Structure 1
Amino acid sequence: MSFSNFRVPYSIDERYSKKIAYFSMEFAVHQPLKIYSGGLGFLAGSHLRAAYDLRQNMIAVGILWKYGYYDQARNQDQTLQVQWNEKLYSFLEDTGIKFQILIHDAPVWVKVWYLNPETFQSAPLFLLSTDVPENDYVSQTITHRLYDANVATKVAQFILLGIGGAKLIDELGFNPDLYHLNEAHGVSSVFYLYKKFGSKEEVRKRLVFTTHTPEEAGNEKHDLQLCYKMTYFNGLPLDEVRTLCGIQGDEPFNHSLVALRFAHLANGVSQLHGEVARHMWSKYQGICPIIAITNAQSWRYWADKQLYRFSDEGADDRFDDRKRHLKKRAFELVADQTGKWFNPDALTIVWARRFAGYKRAELLTRDLRRFEAMMNHPKHPVQFIWAGKPYPVDYPAISDFNNLVHLSKQYKNMAVCIGYELTVSKRLKQAADIWLNNPRVPREASGTSGMTAAMNGAVNLSTNDGWIPEFINSGNNGFVVPPADYTNMNVHDQDEYDLEQLYQILEQQILPLYYEQKDTWRQIIKNGMNDVRFQFDASRMAHEYYEKLYA
């Protein structure tokens, strides 16, 4: 097919005719395409599926990571091992497009690959690669590892996504009405667009931005001189960059702050996050308004349709049988990895997502006496599964993962799984009776794993963060830790409060309901399934982006 004067290769719904170019560092479109690490990618993948379903006039730009994020394997003692294995994708199409950009004042060749919408039923996705023989080895490594730990390599990746992505849009002749940055990794694009359109005002008309990080420290900052030497600013003099970006002297270059100053509108990814983001950035001059569009996930991709059918039909026996079958099938995966053979009739708690300190994977194990009592309860047996990928150089998170592995050796009803990607994620959501989510409030911008868990008959147990305040009616469609005045608590007190509340809910509400009031428990599952079905389906989200952010 021709990639000149590119048009989205399906008929466009006139409600979504505005042309959008969507930039993201990662996309979790389908299991075989391993170019994602966690929630940002899962969200972007569901966005592309919804854009396809709604026939929106959107194309997406990302990076083809040669080794992906990393492959999660095990050492001899079952602890985490990081592996970098080359990925090969015969289903990607070679566009024939090659062009050069400057990185560190040297020309770097960029090759472009294409994911056809019909391959995985997603909006058109173009992927940039520097792994070509025309480049020297260092330039080739720019697209080797997602979120490379080397600072200069990471800045080069940001240049590639931003300037390279914006240049690709011109190579395609797509002429979008709006450029949408999903997180600030691609904000170098503004310097390309500034040169193209001639003024900051003209860039601002065309730029929107989604922020996912609810704390200032979590937003990427890099040394201004390093960025300049890396040609991050597309050849602009430093004084002009400072003036354009509102930077004083040699203040660090704050990617999110610059995105907020160049965009005409931005959004947080839950109603709570919108409030947090507005407060967080309010002390800075010249930022755009920040609205809220709550994240969602693709029901078409994630949901177990038979569970929904039996629920709609009121076929309770078949509903129960289906959930039991899903658990049993998922437990085969757990047994294959860990040698633990789980009981499909026992209450199964799953904690599975990216390992990061604020998400507190090991929180329930901090009270070992109470954990031991729960794991060995004679009347109400419990099974526990953990899974997730720590960032490969986040050593405290890796330590949490490994400590859970060692603890699991003491229990036949506790397992820690590896390979937490799309397929394992879906299986573990089907395995779960309780989907445990316990980040420190308000550190989770949105969190979406609980949405897809509910779509597979799991009940959410969560702290009141991210999307949860918009969803859980505690005791009706899930369970939530009662909100406290966390602003006046230190971290230790907050953790102690949440730990106590989680155990109280488990011991006093969840376990008695699951084992002694099956009809009530089933209704809680169904209520959760119904409440995520439309409000937290990605089609609602993709529609809201056109209605609120792109309008």
Structure 2
Amino acid sequence: MKNTAYFSMEFAIDQSLKTYAGGLGFLAGSHFRAAKRLNVPLVGVSMLWSYGYYDQVRDREGRMKVENIRKYYDFLTDIDLKVPVVINGTNIWVKAYKLEENTFNTCPIYFLTTDIPENDHLSRTISYGLYDGNNLTHIAQEIVLGIGGYKVIRECENVKRYHINEAHSLPVAFKMLEDYGTDYVKEHLLFTTHTPIPAGNETQDINLLKSMGFFGSIDTKTAEKYGGNPFNLTVAALRMCKRSNAVSELHRDTSEKMWAWVTNREPIMNITNAQDKYYWQDRQIREAAGKKDIKMLRERKMELKKQLFEEVADQTGSLFDPNILTVVWARRFADYKRPSFLLRDEKRFKNLLKTGKIQVIWAGKPHPADSNAQITFNWIVSKTRELKNVSVLTGYELKLSKLLKQGSDVWLNTPRRPNEASGTSGMTASMNASIHMSTMDGWHVEWAKAYPKDSFTIGDGVNLDEDYEANEMYKHLEKTIKIYDTDEWWEKAINSVNHVVEYFDAERMIMEYTKKFYSD
């Protein structure tokens, strides 16, 4: 039996299993691969999204558009279990499937769906798509994950702790409160917070949540004691849990300041995020860096760049040269990540391209309901369409992410400090000899402090003026062009590969969770 149930709206386990949107899912995937290797007794609870997050495709003019294609999986085990959940006064059936441990070498995960014949059409749509833009559907998804997941776990496992990865599954806490009381919840609930931006810390009308069934039989007055009115899910999770953690040192400091006013909570500890080198890192890159063999590393990197450039050519018709420095900006398209930052000074950006010594790739998925982010994505497409050595790729999922991280030379990260809780894409890029170039935010603060010569740091983390940071970014790129493909460059890449796994590999993260978080 498993000791800890880990609830997450998304898991990025394999390209074929489209139950994730971005970093939260990528983290959960690495968490479960490393935990399996280290024999940590974890079991996962998530949602089986009938249409995934969405399929990012192109229209006839090459702009991105959202499509929803139904997904089917024959590798999930039907455990013949359905549990009832009451949402908005309606009894809804939640069916569970199980991802067995040996399928993708992870700890087991139960996937929940309402998309079954026993439910009416509206109820079936609850598990159609991840992070549905309709607020009522979103709340219903949280109830299914929290309460439905709790009931499935109670039927199938004998866990001691309930670890909620973000506050989406908070209804599990109110279900425990309903069944066993305050002391039980305080002893058994663990909480990881992931973002300091307001949009990532969900606030809802408390009466709406009550009518929807979010609190079960718990009265509104009691719920308000935990989450306030309007009801803040993060605040409630902080007050109800035994332990809580942030996902980088800076994020812990930011979170403690952000939630300093919240009474009756435990201090927020730090467990910095990490990623699984055995999934993300190219073996030959690891071997070459271990031997400090520049020739071997360079040859393998050129092969990996060619593999990436086949995808670039297939999608965009652009033929990239593996001998030219390749910069990639790729992650979830969100305003605070500043996806268009490279184009802040268009003249300077074009002057970089005119040298013929730099190639740039953008990729990433905006939220399907975030029209501004989609406009930004398509604006970048329009601005770069006529430029040589620039491409914008669609379909940013596990497969493309790995291609980009293994095939890039510089992994560009431009968040507006202190909005990036951690960010992990640069860790896996660094594992593959792609030098991280980032503002002083998230995990990069720790990386730059430990090994300042292994990356490029944009700005000082104090002067947050955008023109200043943009100027620093351009200066780094101008310098990078000059040193690319020299011994100095490859030595920097080797050091990056060897040093990043010392702390930012998922096995360290899992051992830290086991010692600090999951222990009695």
Calculate the TM-score normalised by the size of structure 2. Answer: 0.98
1: CA distance, partners of 2:422 / 2:97:
31
Specify which of 205, 227, 234 is matched with residue 209 of structure 2. 227
Specify which of 490, 503, 512 is matched with residue 482 of structure 2. 512
Paired position in structure 1 for 2:474: 503
Superposed CA offset, 1:22-50 (max 9, x none): 00000001110000000000000100001
Q: 3-state SS of the aligned residue for 2:503?
A: coil
2: CA distance, partners of 1:51 / 1:539:
7
Post-superposition shift, 1:195? 1.7
2: CA distance, partners of 1:301 / 1:187:
30
2: CA distance, partners of 1:293 / 1:355:
25
Q: 3-state SS of the aligned residue for 1:21?
A: strand
Post-superposition shift, 1:236? 2.1
1:217-366 paired onto structure 2 within 5 Å: 217-243=199-225, 245=226, 247=228, 251-366=229-344
Q: Which amino acid aligns with 2:469?
A: D
Paired position in structure 2 for 1:438: 414
Post-superposition shift, 1:430? 1.6
Paired position in structure 1 for 2:458: 481
Specify which of 371, 375, 378 is matched with residue 402 of structure 1. 378
Q: 3-state SS of the aligned residue for 1:274?
A: helix
Specify which of 396, 401, 408 is matched with residue 425 of structure 1. 401
Over aligned residues, Cα RMSD in angstroms?
A: 1.2
Paired position in structure 2 for 1:48: 32
- Tell me whether 1:382 sits opposite 2:358 in the alignment: yes
Change (3 A) 1:246 1:326: closer
In structure 1, the gaps of 5 or more residues are 1-6, 9-18
Paired position in structure 2 for 1:412: 388
Q: Is the 8 A contact 1:310 1:318 kept in 2?
A: yes
Superposed CA offset, 1:219-263 (max 9, x none): 1111111111101111222223234x253xxx2111111000100
Q: Is the 8 A contact 2:191 2:245 kept in 1?
A: yes
- Tell me whether 1:189 sits opposite 2:167 in the alignment: no
Specify which of 27, 44, 57 is matched with residue 60 of structure 1. 44
1:73-222 paired onto structure 2 within 5 Å: 73-172=57-156, 174-197=157-180, 199-222=181-204
Q: Which amino acid aligns with 1:440?
A: R
1: CA distance, partners of 2:410 / 2:230:
43
Q: Which amino acid aligns with 1:53?
A: R
Superposed CA offset, 1:82-111 (max 9, x none): 000000000111011111111111110010
Change (3 A) 1:239 1:475: closer
Q: 3-state SS of the aligned residue for 2:178?
A: helix
Paired position in structure 1 for 2:428: 452
2: CA distance, partners of 1:421 / 1:348:
20
Change (3 A) 1:376 1:445: same
Q: Which amino acid aligns with 1:538?
A: A
Q: 3-state SS of the aligned residue for 1:51?
A: helix
Q: Is the 8 A contact 1:475 1:524 kept in 2?
A: no
Post-superposition shift, 1:533? 1.6
In structure 2, the gaps of 5 or more residues are none
Q: State, as a whole percentage, how many aligned pairs show the same letter.
A: 44
Post-superposition shift, 1:217? 4.7
Q: Is the 8 A contact 1:216 1:280 kept in 2?
A: no
Specify which of 537, 541, 550 is matched with residue 505 of structure 2. 537
Q: 3-state SS of the aligned residue for 1:148?
A: coil
Q: 3-state SS of the aligned residue for 1:472?
A: helix
Q: 3-state SS of the aligned residue for 1:61?
A: strand
Post-superposition shift, 1:308? 1.4
1: CA distance, partners of 2:65 / 2:23:
21
Q: Is the 8 A contact 1:23 1:186 kept in 2?
A: yes
Calculate the TM-score normalised by the size of structure 1. Answer: 0.92
1: CA distance, partners of 2:437 / 2:62:
28
